[in-house]
A and B are shown apart, each in its own frame.
Chain A
């Protein structure tokens, strides 16, 4: 499966769930900065930011996952990911840590999980009692979804 390359995942929180993204996809994690809205863009695209001279689109993951909207907090972060030569930012509630999840601890996603669209999920990682939803970033940024 091409979606992950190592066993290490950047783990972050959104609503009450924990999610993970393959660490090799993550370029950096930024604090919230001012976002310029782009008219006529898909609703889950919050706008664009200036990342050291590059203009990068930012996706509101809450909106993408059809979660309830909430206002930004001190902990809100933008994870910058690079997928298929496209750099995008993902807005998340807070990022916590980098975890190593062995392949045999990853299970196929169940048919229904939380409330988010099934197709973004690549697997469920289990660490102790924690369940971490591992995301397939390339699916998230596909604009049609």
Chain B
């Protein structure tokens, strides 16, 4: 069978399961007695085994099978959870992740060998495993059709059927362990059987089977006038059915009352077991329904929807323009109504694109754990605000910068245990990862209580690396010195480690975040720690902007970067070192003549004295942009200039105005 069509499903599901496994393992490590976690891990390993088996990925199957054995022993209390076991399980996770990634990239399982890990797993099992496994198998087999027991009512029916010469069978159906649509297979089995007779009982119940609340097998009782061979032949032709065990009911299971009592007791016991199982599966079901309510949508389709909404907003803006000229009241009302709808629609579509930042955060506990082990530092990671939502495009991009900052904090920030104790801090270092919404932006903070940033060291290093001169360094205040960290080619680590300190660090972080229209800054409090603060816009696609004219062209300046708009007297502009500046609010404000930058003939004559200045901020820095005229505030839809014009300086993108014209968006960051 061609498996390619399932490849995508396999990869996505496998990744989800691995994520789950990761979290559960971390949970198990902190709380080794947590049975629920253990069960979850077992469940995941089992599911992965089945999935990998179906797809023919033998290495994954073997490994997960061994994992299962170990986990089963832990579950049965034969082995105690130890750090070694958790480490090995993490190794398994890594291997599985590697395999899945390899499969995602090449469509084939990689050649990496899992033998070493399997040996370790075997070591854990150390002998008692084979017995346990064999036991389990035997137990399963001896259970044949035991599950299916007739109650009094059933007995009546069965007795009547036998009396009338029908055949009564108990049929146990075992599905392939890798069967993907178990409920559907079961349905086919039911349908096939119903061609020959009637199903009077099923274990688990039909509802449970429909909901896929069963392992790989179920049992049914059939009344039919056909022989076993006929039904068997048909059932066996159903694909993914592994084994069918028939048992003919010749006479009623009429037992003495004592037996019935025993039977009841047994039933009760079975009930208890079943209930437990049900609880477990309920857990699973809850989880399922949580993820089940989502639909995976191709981001392209979403973008398309987004585009349509954008179009709608453009038309709305156009109508607004027409509405002001037209005094018709109905028109005005209609436009207002349209505005309300488009705003809501826009919000709704944006929300669809929003993804909780959890998706990025959830890989960090593992990373921190590994790094702290590697470096021999005790680190406690506290995360908050995982539910904070960000645009999907931002989520996809923000992972790497965050990884970098976290590595940075662990490697450079948090000190060795001895050092910490010497400084009177707790031996365990603290790392905080926070996300929260602040107005129209989302803030992510990476904070540690390590040794902070040594400003004099930063300056010294910057001079050494030739980033600034000694004279320049002396002029820098604390804030500006810290900023040096973000300069290309800067690294303060004395020795280059595997974790960070390759000197291609923070400048990359900064560039990445700025490409997302965000900003990053750093705070440091002496030797008490440092805090990196990332600020990201909530949405990327639609923003409020100030429209201005320069010459006969229209440009948009994003509203969120504008501090204020003011007029100045042309004569107050001074020239310092070839840079025009003006005194504004007692600060020296650099002036940028947009018409020169954008190579437009300005419409304002040289003699004009009053100049309109848009004061734009970039972090703590400001600059005044001279524009010809202000048009006003407007909601604009950001469009890219496309691959062809992607490298254009000073232009962040384009937007389409109400009249269908294209206006360009000024990239203020590049001008300050």
If the complex has contacts A55-B639, A85-B643, are A39 and B599 also in contact, measured as CB distance less than 8 A? Answer: yes
Q: Which A residues are in CB contact (< 8 Å) with B661?
A: 34, 36, 50
**Which of the residues A39, A57, A86 comes within 8 Å of B600, measured between beta carbons?**
A39
Pick from A17-25, A40-48, A91-99 the stretch touching chain B: A40-48
Given contacts A36-B663, A39-B651, A50-B662, contact A86 B599 (CB under 8 A): no
Residues of A contacting B651 in the complex (Cβ-Cβ under 8 angstroms): 38-40
* Residues in chain A near residue B220, CB distance under 8 A: none
* A87 beta carbon closer than 8 Å to chain B: yes
The contact string, 1 if C-beta is below 8 Å from chain A, for chain B 630-672, is: 0000000001111111001111001010001111100000000
Q: How far is the CA of A49 from the CA of B649 in the complex (A)?
A: 19
Interface string of A3-36 (1 = CB under 8 A from B): 0000000000000000000000000000000101
* B656 & A38 in contact (Cβ 8 Å cutoff): no
Q: Is the CB of A48 within 8 A of B598?
A: no
Task: Knowing A48-B654, A53-B311, A55-B654 are in contact, say whether A38-B664 is a contact too (CB < 8 A).
Answer: yes
CB atoms of A88 and B650 under 8 A apart: no
* Chain A contact residues, majority secondary structure: strand
The answer to whether A143 has its CB under 8 Å from any CB of chain B is yes
Residues of B close to A48: CB separation below 8 A: 641, 645, 654, 662, 664
A55 and B663 contacting across the interface, CB-CB below 8 Å: no
Q: Are B662 and A55 in contact (CB under 8 A)?
A: yes
Mask for B157-189, Cβ within 8 A of A = 1, else 0? 000000000000000000000000000000000
Q: Could you say which residues of chain B place their CB within 8 Å of the CB of A53?
A: 307, 310-311, 314, 639, 656
CA distance A54 to B638 in the complex (A): 11
Give the distance in Å from the alpha carbon of A56 to the alpha carbon of B640 in the complex: 9
Q: Does B597 contact A (CB under 8 A)?
A: yes
Within 8 Å of chain A (Cβ to Cβ): is B419?
no
Q: Tell me the minimal C-beta distance from A116 to chain B in angstroms.
A: 20
Whether B12 sits at the interface, judged by CB under 8 Å, is: no
B13 is an interface residue with CB less than 8 A from chain A:
no
How close is B305's CB to chain A, nearest CB, in angstroms?
Answer: 13
A131 → B minimal CB distance (Å): 30
Known: A53-B656, A57-B642, A57-B645. A36 touches B307 (CB 8 A): no
Categorize the interface residue count of chain A. Answer: 20 to 34
Among A54, A88, A141, the most chain B Cβ lie within 10 Å of the Cβ of A54
Closest to B638 in A: A55
Q: Which chain A residue has the least Cβ–Cβ distance from B639?
A: A55
Residues of B within 8 A of A41 (CB): 645, 648
| A141 to B646 Cα, complex, angstroms | 13
Taking a contact as CB atoms under 8 Å apart, the answer to whether A86 and B642 are in contact is: yes
Instruction: Tell me, yes or no, whether A37 is within 8 Å of chain B by CB.
Output: yes
> Which A residues between 83 and 117 are near B, CB-CB below 8 angstroms?
85-88
- A39–B670 Cα distance when bound, in Å, is 14
- Cβ contact within 8 Å between B644 and A39: no
Taking CB atoms and an 8 Å cut-off, the chain B residues in 560-598 that contact chain A are: 597-598
Complex: chain B residue closest to A56, CB-CB = B642
- CB of B583, distance to nearest CB on chain A (Å): 29
Q: Quick check: A87 and B656 within 8 Å, CB to CB?
A: no
Q: Which of B310, B640, B642 has its CB near the most chain A CB atoms (within 10 A)?
A: B642
Give how many B residues have a beta carbon under 8 Å from the other chain's beta carbons. 27
Contact A36 B553 (CB under 8 A): yes
Residues of A close to B600: CB separation below 8 A: 39
Question: Chain B 616-642 against A: per-residue CB contact (8 Å), 1 yes, 0 no?
Answer: 000000000000000000000001111
Q: How far is the CA of A115 from the CA of B360 in the complex (A)?
A: 56
Residues of B within 8 A of A49 (CB): 662
The complex places the Cα of A53 from the Cα of B656 at a distance, in Å, of: 7
A52 (CB) vs chain B CBs: closest residue: B311
Q: What CA separation (Å) do A47 and B645 show in the bound complex?
A: 10
**Is B656 a contact of A40 with CB atoms below 8 Å?**
no
Q: Are the CB atoms of A143 and B307 closer together than 8 Å? A: no
Q: Kindly state the separation between the CA atoms of A39 and B314 in the bound complex, as whole angstroms.
A: 24
A54: B residues at CB distance < 8 A:
639
Asked if A55 and B311 make an inter-chain contact with CB atoms under 8 angstroms apart, the answer reads: no
Contact across chains for B642 and A40 when beta carbons are under 8 A apart: no
Known contacts A36-B661, A40-B599, A50-B661; is-contact A55 B644 (Cβ 8 Å): no
Complex Cα spacing A40 to B652, Å = 13
- A36-B648 contact in complex given A50-B656, A53-B656, A55-B656, C-beta closer than 8 Å: no
CA of A45 to CA of B400, assembled, Å: 35
- Give Cα distance in the complex from A1 to B650, angstroms: 39
Taking CB atoms, residues of chain A closer than 8 Å to B553 are 36-37
* Complex interface: chain B residues within 8 A of A57 (CB): 641-642, 644-645
Q: Is the CB of B599 within 8 A of A55?
A: no
Q: A50-B656, A54-B639 are in contact. Are A36 and B664 (CB under 8 A)?
A: yes
CA distance A87 to B660 in the complex (A): 18
Residue of B nearest to A49 (CB): B662
Q: How far is the CB of B545 from chain A (nearest CB, A)?
A: 15
> Which residues of A lie under 8 Å from residue B310 when comparing CB positions?
53
Residues on A with C-beta less than 8 A from B644 are: 57, 86, 88, 141, 143
Q: Which of A39, A54, A57 has the most CB of B within 10 A?
A: A39
A141's closest neighbor in chain B, by CB? B644
How far is A53 from B662 in the complex, measured between Cα atoms in Å? 9
Q: How far is the CB of A137 from chain B (nearest CB, A)?
A: 12
Per the bound structure, the CA–CA distance linking A34 and B552 in Å amounts to 13
Q: What residues of chain A lie closer than 8 Å to B307, measured between beta carbons?
A: 53
> Given contacts A39-B650, A48-B641, A48-B664, could you give 13 more A-B pairs where the C-beta distance is less than 8 Å?
A36-B661, A36-B663, A39-B600, A40-B648, A48-B645, A50-B662, A53-B307, A53-B311, A54-B639, A55-B639, A56-B642, A57-B641, A57-B642
Give 20 A-B contacts (CB < 8 Å), ordered by A residue.
Answer: A34-B661, A36-B553, A36-B654, A38-B651, A39-B597, A40-B599, A41-B645, A41-B648, A45-B645, A48-B645, A48-B662, A50-B662, A53-B307, A53-B639, A53-B656, A57-B641, A57-B645, A87-B642, A88-B644, A143-B644
Closest 3 CB pairs of A and B: A36-B662, A39-B598, A55-B654
**Interface residues of B, Cβ cutoff 8 Å to A:** 307, 310-311, 314, 553, 597-600, 639-645, 648-651, 654, 656, 660-664
